Chains A and B, each alone.
Chain A
Amino acid sequence: MAKIELRNVTYKYPYTRGYALKDVTHSFESGKFYGIIGENGGGKTTLCNLIRGLIPHFYKGKLQGDVIVDGVDIRDWDLNELSARIGYVFENPFTQISGIKPTVFEEVAMGLENLGVPKEDIIRKVTEVCKQLKIEDLIKNNPNELSGGQRQRVAFASIITMDTDMLIIDEPTSQLDPEGTEDVFEIIKTLKESNRTLILVEHKIDMVAEYCDEVIVMNEGSIVFSGPTHEVLSDPAIMECGAMMSQIAIFGHEMAKAGKPLERIPITLAEAVALVKARR
């Protein structure tokens, strides 16, 4: 069964003129990893807000069409119950820290405390996630004094402990340095192995190429491309819709133009290495 089903969804934020989403139809299958790319203002974050239930429960505005999450219309979901099912990590590492917990361990545990999970289970789960995300050394630190990259890892840990079967990740690395970015993608790699449904909004196209099963390109509120990652990211037409193309794919096209075509257009580094070696 589709985890999330969007049918002819059109949405306008309150007090704005233009539509943020225009006639969007798409279905997200359980256990798959989706990447959403495209230019700013194209509707990527709005789509996340919708799936997460923030639209229409938090942001009012005008919503048409159907959004079905786990078989239930989004309008009938209680936003609070939905938060226990769909995890959400976003861009700003600073606003995601609660600001009320004195240690990272307690910060990570907060979601489970709110859900009323028995204490022993909380301790076990938090310990496990902190290990998994390699923040064991930070558990006694004050989360308000961490660097951006460390905070983002804590934000991930805080959501992952809640064990939601779906996770929306909206530009998690745009404010991080290369090392922090690496760490976050390390986490995303672990998540991919955990069989969750994942939706990642990201400008770093190489990361999308590396990890996602399917890619959606958004432009001016509509889905303009969608399909298997390789198919979408090797198509130069996505650039006309404001989406970035990987340096690797551009190289592939340039090779073809120079009369030295590779067997297919590569989208990841490893693929390019293999294709070039095969050609030699």
Chain B
Amino acid sequence: MDTDFIDSFRRYQKTGNFWGDLNPLTKLNVCLALAFSALIMMDYRYGIPLCILVCIIAALSGKFIEFIKLFGRLSLIIIVFVTLIRQIGMRTGNVTPFINVFGWQWYLESFIKGWNTITFILGFSGSLLLFFTTTTMRDLMYSLEQIGVSHETSYIMLASMQNIVDLKQASVTILDSQKSRGIEVEGNILVRAKAFFPTLGPLLLGAIASTEEKVIAMDARAFSVHRKHTFLRELAPAGTGQKILIAAAWMVTLATLIYRVFLR
């Protein structure tokens, strides 16, 4: 038997990574503070360094690949989208023609002026993304339970995450079973749409039917017994250092607010 693993429950769960081992609520505070500061500043000179900062934190916490996959995709979409919108809104005024694509005139300003908006959106969403890629739902719910969120709410949140995985798997099986009856699912969009409908029924009914059993099964595990719960897996509570970090993060936000309101 893996005694090291069993012993790990006797201590606070630690990974040895500074950012990773912060209390989820500390991380949430820092990330929210950064996100709001981006919203307040609305300036590429603040947005770009912020984007770089969240990338660095993600890299330091060892989650760079997961983070950049999402963040990279998001960046691409936002840049293209905002540029397009700008381009459409930039028909008049003092503009510089840039390139002409099959008779569609693009202006240089649409590429430049969008950057304040783009970096704000990316700085804002990047901060939140940083939180969600470096914090598991389980850790977050644990911390929320510590500050009074109910056991039931926590269960529903966590079980829903698993349900999504399970539903995905079930939908593959159901589609296979429909194919096995001879329902054509390969071919043009109409054929696919026609095949899609029959899969929804079993998927939803299956989910509902298993809910009742799940309730009974969880009940057998004393889920609803009204006693103070033990947490086998514990996270370190936020110490003074972390509290200072939270305060510092919000100070940054406050500073950006003061800058925007009084100094610019």
Q: Do A and B touch (CB < 8 Å)? A: yes
Residues in chain A within 8 A of chain B (CB atoms):
52, 54, 58, 79-81, 83-84, 87-90, 92, 94-96, 98-100, 102, 105-106, 109-120, 122-123, 127, 130-131, 136, 139-140, 144, 155, 158-159, 162
Is the CB of B155 closer than 8 A to any CB of chain A?
A: yes
Contacts of A54 in B (CB 8 A): 216, 219
Given contacts A90-B213, A110-B221, A113-B232, contact A98 B159 (CB under 8 A): yes
Query: Which residues of the other chain, A, contact B205 by a CB distance below 8 angstroms?
Result: none
Provide the bound-state CA to CA distance between A168 and B199, in Å.
35
Complex contact A99–B232 (CB within 8 A) = no
Do B165 and A88 touch (CB < 8 A)? no
Q: Flag if A139 contacts B230 (CB, 8 Å).
A: no
Q: Are A92 and B213 in contact (CB under 8 A)?
A: yes
Q: Which of B4-12, B55-63, B100-108, B123-131 makes up part of the contact surface? A: B4-12
Q: Give Cα distance in the complex from A83 to B138, angstroms.
A: 25
Contact A95 B213 (CB under 8 A): yes
CB distance A162 to B222 under 8 Å? yes
B132 to chain A, nearest CB (A): 17
- Max chain B C-beta neighbours (<10 A), residue from A89, A114, A130: A114
A197–B128 Cα gap in the complex (Å)?
Answer: 53
Please judge, given known A-B contacts A100-B158, A122-B230, whether A81 and B138 are in contact too, CB under 8 Å.
no
Q: Is the CB of B6 within 8 A of A105?
A: yes
Task: Return the chain A residue nearest B219 by Cβ.
Answer: A83
User: Is there an interface contact between B10 and A84, defined as CB atoms closer than 8 Å?
Assistant: no
Contacts of A87 in B (CB 8 A): 220
Most buried by A among B6, B222, B223, B233: B222
* Partner among B162, B166, B219 whose Cβ is within 8 Å of the Cβ of A79: B219
**Count of interface residues, chain B, beta-carbon cutoff 8 Å:** 36
A113–B159 contact, CB under 8 A? Answer: no
**B170 → A minimal CB distance (Å):** 10
With the chains together, A115 CA to B231 CA distance in Å?
A: 11
Asked if B229 and A88 sit within 8 Å, CB to CB, the answer is no
Residues of B within 8 A of A80 (CB): 219, 222, 224-226
A89, A95, A131, A144 interface centre (most CB from chain B within 10 Å): A95
Do A127 and B1 have beta carbons less than 8 Å apart?
Answer: yes
Instruction: Tell me the nearest residue of chain A to B162, going by C-beta.
Output: A99
B173 near A: Cβ within 8 Å? no
CB distance B222 to A96 under 8 Å? no
Please tell me if the beta carbons of A119 and B223 are within 8 angstroms of each other in the complex.
no
Can you report 21 A-B residue pairs in the complex whose CB atoms are below 8 A from each other?
A52-B220, A83-B219, A83-B222, A84-B222, A88-B216, A88-B217, A89-B220, A95-B214, A98-B155, A98-B217, A106-B233, A111-B220, A111-B222, A114-B223, A114-B229, A117-B230, A119-B10, A139-B6, A144-B165, A159-B221, A162-B221
Whole-angstrom distance from the CB of B73 to the nearest CB of chain A?
27
Residues facing A in B226-243 (CB within 8 A) are 226-233
Residues of the A chain whose Cβ atoms lie less than 8 Å from the Cβ of B177: none
What separation, in Å, do the CA atoms of A252 and B159 have in the docked complex?
51
Q: Are B159 and A140 in contact (CB under 8 A)?
A: no
